A and B are shown apart, each in its own frame.
Chain A
Amino acid sequence: MTHYAEDDLILYYYGEGRKRVEIERHLDECGACAATYRDIAGTLAIVTEPELPERSDQYGLEVWQRIRHKLPEQELPWWMLWFRGERLMLVGAAAVLVLAAFVAGRYLPRQGTATVATIPAGPATTAPSVVTDGATAQRQRILLTSVADHLDRSERMLTDIMNTSDHRDISTEQRWAEDLLTTSRLYRQDAADIGEQSVASVLDDLERSLLEIVHSRPQISAADLEQIRRRIDAAALLFKVRVLSDELRQRENAPAPSATPRTSTRKIG
């Protein structure tokens, strides 16, 4: 005869568990399990409701008097955080960078065209390709430098989350993650626009983890924190962020592309 575990009998006592009918039948037949169940029920019957100290009708007022001068500042709802000064500045800075990349893209083709004029005449179809390549390379350099900085900041925040002690307030990391999320989206779109798919892909992974952090409770439980950490580990996110950041720094330090016509742009990793 198979006996039921103590855990099953505890759930049965509290009217929970999926095996209630089977356990009930089993307890009628099995002396050992019936004895264990009697012991559990007997113990729990002793644990009666403690006598609650009386609190008068004025108790609510007393509590209010105690806390009224200690009321802290209210945390803003998430949508209002977007309108805070430092956030607007960050979004503005990101917008300026994107605009700079765009202007560079618009401006540089003229240089490219001038260079092309000195090249011996070739097939007419090569000229647009040269123009696009020069502009893209310059946009890439500006964008990738910004993305490398962004990845460094993200790495610091993720490292904080990985190393923070359990059961603590992560509201600082959440604000940080929200800031990063805003810029990350802009960079990802821009990276995708100029064909940097591998950069866009890492930023996409990063955004998922940032979103999870932003939407967690500030007083995060150990279990939730562990779940976030497991996902970061599973996606090898810190590793990807570090590798991509290093690679972008290397590209940043590489010599500027010459005006020599190229037919393709370099892809990341």
Chain B
Amino acid sequence: MTDATEASAVLARARQGDGEAFRALVERHSRSVFRLAYRMTGNEQDAEDVVQESFLRAYRQLGRFESRANFGTWLYRIVANCSVDLMRAKQARHDQARGESLDTANEMPAAQTPGPERLAESAEIERRVRQALGALSPLERAAFTLRHYEGRSIDEIGKTLGLGTSAAKHSVFRAVKKLRIALQPLRSE
């Protein structure tokens, strides 16, 4: 039996509610799911939550999965959307706690400019980048991650996140503009 035939047989069994078959799918895709979830959320614990929720959501919706489609692509969309949902929920809690939105570039706090010796340290740059990415809205962050790290085209980003092409494009634009403002101190040093 070829890999493709075997994969589709496992998938067919999983769609009929076979737990062992679904286990095989989980084992096969977990690491790639974690990679995407970590890139999207930038946080290990959040990524773990996304991994878990994505597989539970995938299992629930397996009956609706078109067998002609690619399971990996379908799962990829679920992971991307689970990440957005988690980031939104987290942001809502955060906003509620702070009583203010972090959604506009103008409101982003200007990063304090550290001394040149600290800027030279890549760990500090990474920290600042992480902070800037954390200040993006969930949708901006998701669209930016898919474009910048995952190399997805604007059309693919739209399909993955259930957006129109224009909305996907503008999410990327807004993300890059906010990053430019937030990371300006690093560039001017």
Contacts and interface: CB of A to CB of B under 8 A. Distances in A.
The finding on whether chains A and B are genuine partners in a shared complex, rather than unrelated, reads yes
Given A50-B130, A67-B52, A74 B17 contact: yes
18 contacts: A6-B176, A16-B154, A43-B187, A46-B125, A48-B129, A50-B130, A52-B39, A55-B34, A60-B29, A63-B27, A63-B51, A64-B26, A64-B27, A70-B52, A71-B56, A72-B56, A74-B62, A221-B161
Interface stretch (B96-104, B108-116, B145-153): B145-153
A81 B57 CA distance: 19
Contact of A44 (B23, B125, B148, B154): B148
Nearest to A62: B30
B36 to A, nearest CB: 10
Given A6-B173, A43-B187, A44-B148, A224 B31 contact: no
A60 B25 CA distance: 9
B63 A75 contact: yes
Interface of A: 6-7, 10-11, 14, 16, 39-40, 42-44, 46-53, 55, 59-64, 66-68, 70-78, 80, 167, 217-221, 223-224
Interface of B: 15, 17, 19, 22-23, 26-31, 34-35, 38-39, 42, 44, 51-52, 55-57, 59-64, 81, 85, 88, 125-126, 129-130, 132-133, 147-149, 153-154, 161-164, 167, 169, 172-173, 176-177, 179-180, 183-184, 186-187
Nearest to B30: A60
A64 B177 CA distance: 40
Contacts of B26: 60, 63-64, 67
B162 A221 contact: yes
B134 to A, nearest CB: 12
A50 B39 contact: yes
B187 A50 contact: no
A59 B162 contact: no
A219 B187 contact: no
B22 to A, nearest CB: 7
A42 B52 contact: no
Given A42-B187, A50-B126, A223-B167, A167 B85 contact: yes
A84 to B, nearest CB: 13
A240 to B, nearest CB: 28
B38 A53 contact: yes
B97 to A, nearest CB: 21
A6 B177 CA distance: 9
A217 B113 CA distance: 46
Given A61-B27, A223-B163, A46 B129 contact: yes
Contact of A67 (B55, B62, B132, B148): B55
Nearest to B44: A53
A182 B52 CA distance: 37
